[in-house]
Amino acid sequence: MSTMLLSDKLPYCPGCTHHHVTRQTSKALEKLGLAPQDVVLVTDIGCHGIADAVFATHTVHGLHGRSTAIAAGIAMALPAGKKVVVFIGDGGATIGLQHILEAARMNVPLTVVVHNNFLYGMTGGQPSGLTPPEFKTVVAPEGTHLPHHNLCELVHDAGAVFAARVVGLGDFSGTLAEAFAQDGFSLVEVLEMCTSYTPKFNPDFKLRQAAEAAGYALGSWTNPPRPPFRLQFGAQKPSLLSQLKLVTRKQQARLPHRLGIVLAGSAGEGVQYAAESLARAAVAGGLHATKKGSYPVTVGVGFSAAEILLSPEPIRYHGIGEPDFLVITSEDGLHWARPKLLAMRHGRVFVDASLPKPEASVPVEVRDFRTPFGAKNAALLALATVAREEALLPEALIAAFDPQAKAAAPVS
């Protein structure tokens, strides 16, 4: 029995060519003198994936189509001398095509073995992106009449050091061994037949003839060797945190307890910047502060909101259930904040004078935030106003980000 396998009995359907791919893979790995502990097999969703239980190597079972991405992470971190092999079906290869192409482009040192039996076997025999046009399946009884991807050509163009296509019959362990021996990305596409679904819809199916009729050229394609993408083992890199500009404490604010402030306005009107400015000022005042932004995926339109926590004690949780101050500077902000406003049972609300005064069970203060310095400074002015009126921070710290104070400062 192969040293790569734990059992001679494989878990596939009778007659399935997956038996042959597993045995040829084992044989190829042994040809290279690899020990099971030097090999990591990453399998995908599909019938081939149940090989995990019989391989004596390290095994990892991935999500559908994502096995190459998982394998790439493993291969990048392993030192030379270890071998990472991906088992993936034609369905998984179609789903994860971008992962395969990127691994080829980056020259990640791994080998992808594609079990191409022209269909999704585990889910009932549906066609994949590698199904030939005339091949009949359960959902396409007349064939798809769509050209299939040429996977070997795609990875070759993406930079694969080695790509090959074989029919999954006879001894093709030499081709697999050649692929495994590469110190870079390689792929072997093995053309197979699913014994459960292929004969049902294609009773006269012959694998070699079908491959030829579909234009599946057999052979291998190479690119000049180039350095594999491998992370430097044990390399020390500076922390990203070291690039942050530290905030120096300048004064000591007298805040008796934790305060939650919610700022709601419009995208493009400096809401996030204003919130960060207040948080920085609070830290400069010796307080602890957190800031959390919220906005739609479109980023440049609609609402923009921020939650700021100020506290004399370290902040263990940055959520705000009910704010102490809800500050609204625009119609977008009012629309977004209305549920929060209606739920408030304590605290105060500040709204811009351009907005209708909302109904609330807490005091609502109306201020003109947008007129003095325009919409782009409304959020800054709003937070500076609240901070000053509520004496949250020393005046010098508020003045540092208050546009009104900056405008009034003498020009030197």
Across the chain, mean pLDDT equals: 94
pLDDT score recorded for residue 203: 93
CATH 3.40.50.970 applies to domain 17-222: yes
> Which tokens go with 19?
């038996």
pLDDT score recorded for residue 410: 67
Give the model's confidence band at 406: pLDDT under 50 very low, under 70 low, under 90 confident, else very high.
Answer: confident
- For the stretch 226-267, pLDDT in tens is 999 998 766 677 888 888 889 999 989 999 999 999 999 999
Of 164, 162, 212, nearest in space to 190 by CA:
164
Residue ranges of domains in the chain: 17-222, 259-408
Amino acid, res. 85: V
- In this prediction, residues 269-293 reach a mean pLDDT of 97
> Which tokens go with 1?
């029995």
pLDDT score recorded for residue 38: 96
Q: How many other CB atoms are there within 10 angstroms of residue 232's CB atom?
A: 7
Torsion of CA 383, 384, 386, 392, to 10 degrees: 110
* Cβ atoms of residues 286 and 358 within 8 Å: no
For residue 170, pLDDT beyond 80: yes
Report the alpha-carbon distance of residue 382 to residue 376 in Å, rounded: 11
β-bridge mates for residue 165, sequence order: 189, 219
- For the stretch 111-160, pLDDT in tens is 999 999 999 988 889 999 999 999 999 999 999 899 999 999 999 999 99
Of 148, 183, 178, nearest in space to 163 by CA:
178
- For the stretch 33-63, pLDDT in tens is 999 999 999 999 999 999 999 999 999 999 9
For residue 275, pLDDT beyond 80: yes
For residue 1, pLDDT beyond 90: no
* Cβ atoms of residues 11 and 54 within 8 Å: yes
Report the alpha-carbon distance of residue 166 to residue 35 in Å, rounded: 25
Region 259-408: CATH code: 3.40.920.10
pLDDT score recorded for residue 238: 82
- In this prediction, residues 177-203 reach a mean pLDDT of 95
pLDDT score recorded for residue 233: 66
- In this prediction, residues 315-329 reach a mean pLDDT of 95
